[in-house]
């Protein structure tokens, strides 16, 4: 355990007390400060689940883990078996694609590095839709339908159903069961995969919770190797951006699942980064609806885990 891990654990212990004492935010301030009320978090989560069925709501593992300011059946969001084909060390970073996001009044070292900000292939964000409830899911890019080109002439990338099924996206599992058992004959199976040239892919379960203290969504993840064996923290760091893996990502206890510790992106800068991105929309003559909050949130989280392929939305320009 390095010094950063010790510091982060101390902060987490102190913040758990602060969260208990912090009142629930009731007034919307997302445009002014980048934070969300619990009601806005649920509305944005419903919108994400509606457009991207790879995400779903989950309840808490036991009554002691329930937060009464959230619906019983909507305690947190989860996406299972998300593929991760490459390690960050295999990626060649291009500094011309990076953007340093600085906060107002920040000091050196408090910047957020968006490693693929100017990359049109990975700069992903929400699809613009009207308010009609009867949206055809089969035509949404997240769902995997072909969809129609929007007014700007952009088309969504085709969804590979075989890859989705192969990643386990359609497997029905108990939402509270997270520890996967290794498959039998793991070494033999791995050797066979190498012989026939099959790509051995890691997968991740991704969670989004609401952090009452920081009043923002919080991102959690746990990884598995190609045999379904949970990855260690050091192994998962291979899939984290070098700029963030020791300063931004910590191992902490899940707020809604008993006896479960996951890697999490610390939320201390989330509100300021979201405020900055919202301001970019306004400067370009657009307005960000609170329902799209989680899409933008997932866009900047991708700077931390660029090889985890969870975001299937179309490009957007700030």
Instruction: Copy the structure tokens of residue 118.
Output: 């100017």
User: To which residue do tokens 């058992």 refer?
Assistant: 181
Which residue is catalytic, options 84, 142, 193, 268? 268
Q: Is 88 a catalytic residue?
A: no
Token pair, residue 206, equals 């991704």
Residue 230's SS3 state is: strand
Query: What CA dihedral angle connects 177, 181, 183 and 186, to 10 degrees?
Result: 140
Are 302 and 141 within 8 A, CB to CB? no
**Cβ proximity of 8 and 250 under 8 Å:** yes
Q: How many CB atoms lie within 10 A of CB 210?
A: 27
The rounded distance, in Å, linking the Cα atoms of 318 and 314 is 13
Residues 169/81, Cβ–Cβ less than 8 Å: yes
Question: Contact 90/221 with Cβ under 8 angstroms?
Answer: no
Strand runs (DSSP E) across the chain, as ranges? 56-58, 76-84, 99-101, 112-114, 202-211, 216-224, 249-253, 261-265
* Residues assigned a catalytic role: 268
């Amino acid at each position: 355990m390095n010094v950063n891990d010790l510091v982060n654990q101390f902060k987490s212990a102190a913040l758990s007390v602060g969260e208990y004492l912090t009142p629930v935010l009731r007034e919307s301030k997302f445009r002014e400060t980048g934070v969300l009320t619990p009601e806005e978090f649920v509305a944005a989560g419903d919108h994400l689940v509606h457009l991207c069925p790879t995400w779903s709501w989950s309840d808490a593992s036991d009554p002691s883990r329930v937060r009464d300011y959230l619906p019983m059946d909507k305690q947190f969001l989860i996406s299972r078996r998300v593929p991760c084909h490459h390690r960050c060390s295999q990626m060649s970073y291009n500094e011309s694609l990076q953007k340093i996001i600085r906060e107002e009044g920040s000091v050196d070292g408090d910047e957020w590095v968006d490693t693929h900000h100017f990359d049109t292939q990975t700069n992903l964000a929400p699809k613009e839709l009207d308010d009609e409830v009867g949206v055809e899911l089969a035509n949404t890019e997240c769902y995997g339908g072909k969809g129609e080109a929007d007014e700007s002439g952009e088309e969504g990338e085709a969804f590979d159903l075989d890859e989705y099924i192969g990643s386990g996206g359609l497997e029905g599992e108990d939402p509270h069961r997270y520890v996967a058992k290794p498959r039998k004959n793991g070494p033999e199976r791995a050797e066979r995969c190498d012989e026939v040239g099959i790509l051995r892919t890691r997968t991740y379960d991704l969670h989004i919770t609401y952090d009452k203290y920081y009043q923002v969504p919080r991102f959690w993840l746990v990884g598995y190797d190609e045999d379904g064996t949970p990855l260690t923290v050091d192994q998962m760091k291979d899939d984290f951006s070098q700029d963030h893996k020791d300063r931004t990502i910590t191992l902490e206890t899940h707020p809604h699942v008993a006896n479960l510790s996951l890697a999490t992106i610390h939320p201390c800068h989330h509100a300021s980064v979201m405020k900055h991105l919202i301001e970019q929309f306004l400067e370009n003559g657009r307005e960000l609806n609170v329902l799209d909050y989680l899409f933008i949130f997932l866009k900047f989280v991708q700077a931390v885990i660029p090889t985890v392929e969870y975001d299937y939305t179309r490009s957007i320009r700030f």
